[in-house]
Amino acid sequence: MHTVELLLDQETERRVQHVWDHLAARGEPSQRHHGHPTNRPHLTLSAVGSLTAAAQEELRRRLAGLDCPAVLDGLVRFSGRTHVLAWRVRRDPELLAVHAAVHDVLVTTGCRPDHPLLLPETWQPHITLGRSRRPAWNVPDDQLLPPDLHDQPVRGRFVTARVYDSRARTVTPLPPG
């Protein structure tokens, strides 16, 4: 599987990692514990079984010069086979336009997006803070964020993109840089 992901500016990424550290220090599940070298804060736009060369080229073209608002506002929890704690990302019109453009590129180049929660009509943008096989984070949200980050939204930018290949566990920058 290949995912198309947006990456944050350095300061906003540092703030997300600060939350990872805070959760880990509390003994909570945290992305800080995920030691793979490709692990970094990101926003997943789409997932496909495979990515054609035409799709990669068009994604490079469309995502060149990416500079899109990233407003992290409130925590959200997802449950299922895996439990997830995430920072909700506001559905800003510019962000929705980038998401729609990526979806259109994948559809028009024959790469059928196959994750129902990543389709434009159901997408819930978020940045994962922690994952667990068991229920976790059973405390109020203000205990899960460091005190310096729970009074107001964190405002930053999405400034670049990448493709993550889950089989090879590698990333390809979009555009390469």
Residue 131 buriedness (CB in 10 A; 0-12 / 13-18 / 19+): middle
- What are the Cα distances from residue 52, in Å, to 109, 110, 163? 7, 8, 12
Q: Is 174 a member of any domain?
A: no
The type of residue at 164 is: Y
Q: What is the CATH number of the domain that holds 113?
A: 3.90.1140.10
Q: Is 172 a member of any domain?
A: no
Domain of residue 54: give its range: 2-166
| Count of structural domains within the chain | 1
CA atoms within 13 A on the CB side of 70: 25
CA distance 6 to 8: 7
pLDDT digits (tens, 9 = 90+) for 47-102: 999 999 999 999 999 999 999 999 999 999 999 899 999 999 999 999 999 999 99
pLDDT value for 60: 95
Q: Is 93 a member of any domain?
A: yes
